[in-house]
Structure 1
Amino acid sequence: MLKSLNVLYAENEDIIRENVVEALEFMSMKVTSVTNGEEAYKEYLKNKPDIIILDIEIPICNGLELAEKIRIKDKDTQIIIATKSTNLEYLLKAVELNLVKYLLKPVSLNDLKSTLTICIDNLKYKSERINKYFNDNDYYNLSEQCLFVNKKIVRLDNHERDFLELLLRNHKRIVFYSEIEKQIWKNKMSSAAIRSLVRNLRKKLPDNVIENVSKTGYKVIIKN
């Protein structure tokens, strides 16, 4: 996973920036480095990195101000703060902004590695919430509302998409006929309509994904 991660690093001290960039690249991460908050925000908007490492003292827009600006619309990007300061106000602000960690400079390689490990675990969890895998290769992306089978996008009509998402969001249990009728059909649902929907959807999914529970409802079988 490391090779696919993009890191944005903002630090205005040249030697520190060069050393950290070298360490990140040694860990096979793709790194973009900048020297101030304005450049960092532009890069964030352009590339939407997975991980952002910010020094609090960067000029124009300091690290905490930038983190606060990003957090207005983005709750998922992993943000790490690095600073020489032990200011309690900074620490409290870091907690409020849901930052991964507040690292004191000089940052040791071990601290950096352990913090990146936390970021990676968080990103994996996020991916598992969004992508629902039926097997090792085929999955449905809840965010993009796309079904991927054999590495190709499979088109679903509105009823098929809504039905599949209903099952996936409740994959740990049986979804009852009454729930399907209420959420998929505005009018009364006929048994023929639901059978037709399931039959057509099964043709687009890998084998044995949708399980019928007699006289009760349906259940989806997923890997995660």
Structure 2
Amino acid sequence: MKKYTILYAEDDLNLASQVIDLLELLDFNVLYAKDGLSALDIYLAKKPDILLLDISMPKLDGLNLLENIRNSDNKIPDIMITALSDKQTLLSAVELNICKYLIKPFDRIKLEDALKKAIKSINNKIKLSNNIYLDIDLNELLINDEIIKLSKKEFLLLEILLKSSPNIVDIYKICDYVYNDYDVSSDAIKSLIKNLRKKLGDKGIIHNANSRGYYIKIT
């Protein structure tokens, strides 16, 4: 199992010490920062898998820190920690696409549940290229942080190609998996491939294998 790297930013040193011990016990690689500016520097240098950010921090608060990160990365899951429970603060956090928020004081179970949700979010996004991800929960592409919706057939086609990668998926298997019908015209499949390539930006991800079928190449 992959050992995930988490960036933890918290200015309360006593709380930080306890949380770091728990994170390491759960087999996370922990990057710690005691203020928002230090956390931003660490994020830019190390590119962690998960963020665990306190809202109230010196130099740069957690919301502004996450806003800076979201300018270039809308995918990394963030767990926001706050001693506040006012609606405006929580709404501001939600607008920044947080994965979960924890209100102090929180217990181990709540933190572990939040971490499980963050890991699930990572595992449900498949990288197709440097700037293209497939969200298998939402049936959509994320291209340069822009959401591109997929039709059911487009998603099923991409799913069977990914499951079989790097092997060729023959036409009959595509007919069965995508259409649940072997009697599908080649023109219908070609049209589906064309539409999906267009949504992918024609990045050379889906390839023809002569007349045998198609395969996907992940860069």
Normalised by the shorter chain, which TM-score bucket?
Answer: 0.5 to 0.7
1:53 Cα deviation from its structure 2 partner: 0.7
Q: Aligned to 1:198, which of 175, 184, 209?
A: 209
Question: 1:151-205 deviations in whole A, cap 9, x for unaligned?
Answer: xxxxxxxxxxxxxxxx747845477346778999xxxxxxxxxxxx626xxxxxx
Q: Are positions 1:103 and 2:89 aligned together?
A: no
2 CA distance for matches of 1:21 and 1:102?
Answer: 18
| SS in structure 2 of the partner of residue 176 of structure 1 | helix
Question: 1:22-68 deviations in whole A, cap 9, x for unaligned?
Answer: 00000010001110000000000011111111111111000011111
2 CA distance for matches of 1:25 and 1:72?
Answer: 29
User: Relative to structure 1, is the Cα distance of residues 168 and 54 closer, same or farther in structure 2, using a 3 angstrom cutoff?
Assistant: same
State the match for 2:129 in structure 1: 143
State the match for 1:11 in structure 2: 10
Question: Is the Cα–Cα contact under 8 Å of residues 38 and 61 in structure 1 kept in the other structure?
Answer: yes
Larger radius of gyration: 1
* Structure 2 residues not aligned, in runs of 5+: 132-156, 162-176, 179-185, 198-207
1 CA distance for matches of 2:26 and 2:196?
Answer: 47
User: Relative to structure 1, is the Cα distance of residues 44 and 179 closer, same or farther in structure 2, using a 3 angstrom cutoff?
Assistant: same
| SS in structure 2 of the partner of residue 54 of structure 1 | strand
* Structure 1 residues not aligned, in runs of 5+: 131-141, 146-166, 185-196, 200-210, 213-217
Question: Is the Cα–Cα contact under 8 Å of residues 8 and 44 in structure 1 kept in the other structure?
Answer: yes
User: Relative to structure 1, is the Cα distance of residues 26 and 176 closer, same or farther in structure 2, using a 3 angstrom cutoff?
Assistant: same
State the match for 1:37 in structure 2: 36
Aligned residue pair count: 159
State percent identity of aligned pairs: 34
Give the AA of the match of 1:176: I
User: Relative to structure 1, is the Cα distance of residues 102 and 180 closer, same or farther in structure 2, using a 3 angstrom cutoff?
Assistant: closer
Question: Is the Cα–Cα contact under 8 Å of residues 7 and 53 in structure 1 kept in the other structure?
Answer: yes
TM-score by length of 1: 0.62
Question: 1:100-125 deviations in whole A, cap 9, x for unaligned?
Answer: 11110112100000000001111110
TM-score by length of 2: 0.64
Question: Is the Cα–Cα contact under 8 Å of residues 209 and 215 in structure 2 kept in the other structure?
Answer: no
Runs of 4 or more, structure 1, over 2 Å off, are: 167-184, 218-221
User: Could you say what the CA RMSD is over the residues aligned between the two structures, in angstroms?
Assistant: 3.0
| SS in structure 1 of the partner of residue 129 of structure 2 | coil
